[in-house]
């Protein structure tokens, strides 16, 4: 391989990373004049890395604010910052899924409701509860840790990284069912290669094992694998596959799952059992 060809490959991967960043955040980036469909497919391999970026930004804001504000308020503002950074991209999918699944009887009805830009009762209620669960989980996690800020910093980074990796992995295992040809997620959701899946998993593993004890990592892997199976069952039962909104909803559920698992691991009872070797 020549030096020029290696440079072209690195440049191609850089553009894929920028494409993933532009898709998941409101950060303006300069992309090539022509974005080919193959690039859209391949960009999904970097979604976990974008999650890591979002997690670091959100966690840094929280730690900075907590130096002069109560932790509970710092958590709330950091959550708002995350919404601004991502444009509430995943939260929108979460609300649409609950509106569609709750208000439709047939697959066609559910898809039509999910495409509707208006927010329904199911969606509004689901947004309230998911945000409240996130907030309460993070506040409780800080109260159960001897180093609250470090615990929250690690939790946010891991949750944002792993939730995007696992939700993106659904593309590899499920069929895309949206009938909307204009769907902004369709080009990205049609295909995830084995190489792309491995990059997602390796990124997640490096982040997780760098920040947590091995035992905690294994518990997280088991918990998220179970959640992934449940999500596949749920989406297949409701739609026979997934849509872009389903990926957003999956990310939200998995993010909460990470906070919940870390909270259980940090609880006094679990700590006692671990120290006792049980």
User: Residue 250 in 3-state DSSP?
Assistant: helix
> For the residues 97-114, what does the mean pLDDT come to?
86
Q: What per-residue confidence (pLDDT) applies to 209?
A: 95
Q: Chain centroid to CA 218: how far?
A: 19
115-118: long-range pairs with CB below 8 Å, 24+: 115/180
Task: State the DSSP string of 58-115.
Answer: HHHHHHHHHTTS-HHHHHHHHHHHHHHHHTTHHHHHHHHHHHHHHH-SSHHHHHHHHH
Report the distance separating Cα 216 and Cα 151, nearest Å: 13
Q: What per-residue confidence (pLDDT) applies to 54?
A: 95
Q: What per-residue confidence (pLDDT) applies to 102?
A: 85
pLDDT, greater one: 275 or 238: 238
- Give me 268's structure tokens: 């006094």
Residue 195, pLDDT > 80, answer yes
Residues 6+ apart with CB under 8 A from 111: 100, 104, 177, 178, 179, 180, 239, 243
- List, for residues 107-154, the tens digit of each pLDDT value: 888 888 888 778 888 889 999 999 999 999 999 999 988 899 999 999
Q: What per-residue confidence (pLDDT) applies to 105?
A: 85
212 band by pLDDT with thresholds 50, 70 and 90: very high
Return the percentage of the chain with pLDDT > 90, whole number.
54
């Amino acid at each position: 391989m020549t030096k020029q060809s290696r440079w072209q490959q690195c440049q191609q991967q850089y553009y894929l990373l920028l494409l993933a960043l532009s898709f998941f955040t409101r950060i303006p980036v300069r992309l090539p004049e022509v974005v080919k469909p193959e690039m859209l497919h391949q960009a999904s391999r970097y979604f976990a890395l974008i999650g890591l970026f979002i997690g670091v930004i959100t966690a840094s804001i929280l730690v900075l604010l907590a130096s002069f504000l109560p932790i509970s308020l710092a958590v709330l503002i950091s959550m708002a910052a995350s919404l601004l950074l991502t444009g509430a991209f995943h939260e929108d999918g979460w609300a649409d899924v609950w509106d569609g699944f709750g208000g439709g009887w047939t697959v066609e009805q559910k898809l039509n409701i999910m495409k509707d830009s208006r927010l329904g009762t199911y969606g509004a209620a689901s947004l309230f509860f998911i945000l409240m669960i996130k907030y309460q989980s993070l506040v409780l996690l800080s109260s159960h840790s001897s180093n609250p800020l470090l615990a929250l910093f690690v939790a946010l980074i891991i949750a944002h990284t792993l939730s995007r990796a696992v939700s993106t992995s659904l593309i590899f295992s499920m069929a895309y069912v949206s009938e909307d040809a204009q769907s902004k997620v369709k080009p990205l959701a049609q295909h995830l290669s084995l190489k792309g899946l491995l990059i997602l998993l390796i990124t997640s593993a490096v982040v997780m094992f760098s920040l947590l004890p091995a035992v905690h990592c294994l518990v997280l892997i088991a918990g998220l694998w179970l959640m992934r199976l449940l999500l596949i069952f749920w989406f297949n039962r409701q739609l026979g596959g997934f849509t872009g909104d389903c990926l957003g909803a999956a990310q939200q559920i998995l993010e909460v799952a990470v906070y919940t698992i870390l909270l259980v691991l940090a609880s006094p009872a679990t700590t006692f059992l671990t120290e006792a070797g049980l």
